[in-house]
Amino acid sequence: MDDPVEIGGYQLLGRLGQGGMGVVYIGRGPQGNVVAIKVVRPQYANDNEFRRRFMREVRLAQRTTGPGLVEIVAADTDATQPWLATEYIAGPTLADAVVQHGPLETSAWAGLAHQLGTALHTVHEAGTMHRDLKPANVLLSRTGPRLIDFGIARAHGDTALTNVGQTIGTIGYMAPEYLTTATADERADLFAFGAVLAYAATGRHPFGHGRWEQVQFRSVHEPPDLAGLSPRIADLLEALLDKNPYRRPPLIAALREIPAPDPAQAWLPAAILADIAAAAEHLLRLKAPRNSHPMDPQPEPTPTHTFLEIVPAPPRSRLWGRMKDAFNGVPVDDTASGPDIQELRLSRAEAQSGGPMIFSASLHEPCSACNGRGMTAARLCRSCSGSGHVPGTRRPVAIAFAPGISSGTFLLLPGMGYRDSEGNRGDLYLRVSVLAR
């Protein structure tokens, strides 16, 4: 990986995520403050239209401030690769919290609804709209939810989705008018707000999952899945998820219909608060990647220094892949075996040390005969009965992790897994096993 070590005076500590347009890092400033830094990919940095949109994003975010919104700390829109730094929030996304712990209880759900709705109202009062409100763009902090990722926010008067043939947003959370007319205003955010609240209350995507065409069809033509909710909450969410944007209630009116949270109770359950505390503790231990040497040197090895995240353990490979695809509106390939998962075996001493150490990762390519990804123990392709070999290369990777890591934890190496049909690598998951010796 060609990750930089410093951007705009911020020392980079690792990757937080990546998308088609850019990479998000976690960094530490000269005063010790921790930030999230979004860096535009080189191919888009050379696109004048994209650079114009990025400059607009920064201006919109700078004028959109208030409770529930992350603050812009610094930005350089004229850099060779433009970047934007915001305050870093230690805590899981709503998407991860629900996958790990299930739907929110009524009190926590009401707190989420009120605080997230207030943040969204601030966005609309500033004359902008978010346009990609979804569970993965809601961070859960100790003090309340935080709305993130204004990478595709736009002013109210700028209604076209984007260039011809492109769409912006996430299938299943995009309003029907997005999908049918390619134009929308802040009422589309109301639809997404209702979908996010439905997901938080039920643990299910309101329009199901599957191939994006199926989810899109249900979003436009079928009612949401609100089974099991109280009549009062179900009625409110049905109104927010109305197919006709003009029938959706104003945000302030919708918030009045939500049960008031109990101020005497913590706004989140203990299990999620524990996750937030663990994330904050892990943050304190983060250090910049250091150079090290392989324990079993290969001929002329070139260690690749990468970054790790601790992620919820996938229940099963295929299920984990389907959940990730459903969040991102990606067509689900039922023949796929899920993400690339390999085992990281550590002695007790190594698990307590936190690294860094060298792990020899095996990077598998699609089958040369059928593009399948599954591989037998004999290193033959599962999809075509062994007629095509799945070539693999082993790459030494310098890794570090929170000291005291335990068996069953999953570590994430972004961009180190299988290649997709466009040649981009997915993520590699390392399942930790701590040896008894």
Residue whose tokens read 């009422």 = 187
Distance CA 318, CA 209 (A): 14
Question: Would you give the end-to-end CA distance of the chain in angstroms?
Answer: 33
Distance CA 210, CA 387 (A): 30
Give the bridge partners for 154, in sequence order.
Answer: 129
- 253 HSE (CA, 13 A, CB side): 9
Residues designated catalytic: 132
Q: Is 240:254 a contact under the CB 8 Å cutoff?
A: yes
By three-state DSSP, how is residue 149 classified?
coil
Strand 83-87 and strand 34-40: the pairing is antiparallel
By three-state DSSP, how is residue 292 classified?
coil
What phi, psi does 388 have (nearest 5°)? -125, 130
250 preceded by cis ω (within 30°)? no
Q: C-alpha distances in angstroms, 286 versus 12, 60, 410?
A: 10, 31, 17
Instruction: Compute CA 323 distance to the chain's CA centroid, rounded to the nearest angstrom.
Output: 12
| Helix, strand, coil percentages, rounded to 5, for the chain | 30, 20, 45
Q: Is 196:109 a contact under the CB 8 Å cutoff?
A: no
